[in-house]
Amino acid sequence: MVNMTHTRETTAGQQEMLAVRYRRRYRLCQVLTILGVIFLFALGSFSLIDGAQVLGCILILNALVGLANLYLLKRTGNVERAATILSGILFFLSMSLIITGGKSNTGILWVYPIVAINLFINRFWPAVCWFGLFNVASILLLFTPLSVLLMTSYSIVEAVRFILTMLALNSICLAALRSEEQAYQTIMQLHADDIRQMAYYDTLTGLPNRWSFKTNLERLLARAKKDKQRIGLLYIDLDNFKQVNDQYGHEAGDRLLFKFSERLWEAIRPTDQLLKPQTESLARLAGDEFVVLLPNIKEPLDTSTVATRILNIFDGGFEVDGVTHMIYASIGISVYPDDATDPAKLLHHADAAMYDAKHNGRNCFRFFTQKIADTLHQRQQIEKGLRQALREEHFSLVYMPIFDCKNNTIVAVEVLLRCQSPELEGLGPDQFIPIAESTGIIKDIDLWVIDNALRALVILRKEHLFEGKICINISGVELLNERFPSHVKNLLEQHKVPPQNVELEVTETAFVADDVTCLETLNALNELGVSLALDDFGTGYTAFNQLIHYPADCLKIDRSFVNDLFSEREARNKMVMIIQNLAKLYDLRVIAEGVETEAQMAYLRENGCDWAQGYYLSRPLPWNDLLKRLSA
Binding region for ligand C2E (CB under 6 A): 416-417, 428-430, 433, 446, 449, 473-475, 505, 507, 535-536, 559, 593-596, 613-615, 620
Residue 5, phi-psi category: left (phi > 0), alpha (psi -120 to 50), beta (remainder): alpha
Residue 416's binding partner out of ligand C2E, Ca ion, none, with CB under 5 to 8 Å set by partner kind: ligand C2E
- What part of residues 456-515 is at the interface with Ca ion (CB under 5 A)? 473, 505
* φ, ψ (nearest 5 deg) of residue 287: 25, -110
- Smallest gap, in angstroms, from Cβ of residue 473 to Ca ion? 4
- Closer to ligand C2E by Cβ: residue 431 or 546: 431
Q: Which does 295 bind (CB under 5 to 8 A by kind): Ca ion, ligand C2E, none?
A: none
Q: Are 87 and 123 within 8 A, CB to CB?
A: no
CA 387 – CA 566 distance, rounded (Å): 43
Nearer to ligand C2E, 159 or 601 (CB): 601
Contact of 77 with 64, CB cutoff 8 Å: no
Decide which of Ca ion, ligand C2E, none touches 353; Cβ closer than 5 to 8 Å per partner kind: none
Helix or strand holding residue 74 (H, E): helix 53-76
- Provide, rounded to whole angstroms, the least separation between the CB of residue 309 and ligand C2E: 43
Largest CA distance in the chain: 135
Q: How far apart are CA 507 and CA 583, in angstroms?
A: 16
Taking the complex as a whole, how short is the minimal distance between the CB of residue 572 and ligand C2E, in angstroms? 17
Shorter beta-carbon distance to ligand C2E: residue 288 or 478: 478
C-beta of 282 vs 471, nearer to ligand C2E: 471
108 binds, among Ca ion, ligand C2E, none (CB under 5 to 8 A by kind): none
532 vs 59: CA distance, rounded Å: 96
| AA letter at 342 | D
The residues pairing with 24 across neighbouring beta strands, listed in sequence order, are none
Q: Which is nearer to ligand C2E, 30 or 563 (CB)?
A: 563
423 binds Ca ion, rule: CB under 5 A: no
Residue 572, C-beta contacts closer than 8 angstroms, at least 6 positions apart: 560, 561, 564
Q: Considering the complex, what minimum distance in angstroms separates the CB of residue 389 from ligand C2E?
A: 12
Residue 417's binding partner among Ca ion, ligand C2E, none (Cβ under 5 to 8 angstroms by kind) is ligand C2E
**335 touches, from ligand C2E, Ca ion, none (C-beta below 5 to 8 Å by class):** none
At 441, which amino acid appears? Answer: I
Cβ of residue 591: shortest distance to ligand C2E, in angstroms? 10
Q: Binding partner of residue 208 among Ca ion, ligand C2E, none, CB under 5 to 8 Å per kind?
A: none
Rounded to the nearest whole angstrom, what is the least distance from the CB of residue 459 to ligand C2E in the complex?
18
**In the complex, least distance from residue 536 CB atom to Ca ion, rounded to whole angstroms:** 4
Are the beta carbons of 313 and 329 closer than 8 angstroms? yes
Cα angle, residue 66 at apex, residues 64 and 67 outer, rounded to 5°: 65
Q: Is 477 helix (H, G, I), strand (E, B) or coil?
A: helix
Q: Tell me which residues in 534-563 interact with Ca ion (CB under 5 A).
A: 535-536
Binding to Ca ion in span 559-618, by CB under 5 A: 593
- What's the rounded Cα separation, in Å, for the pair 265 and 500? 61
3-state secondary structure of 592: strand
Please report, as ranges, the residues that interact with Ca ion according to CB under 5 A. 473, 505, 535-536, 593
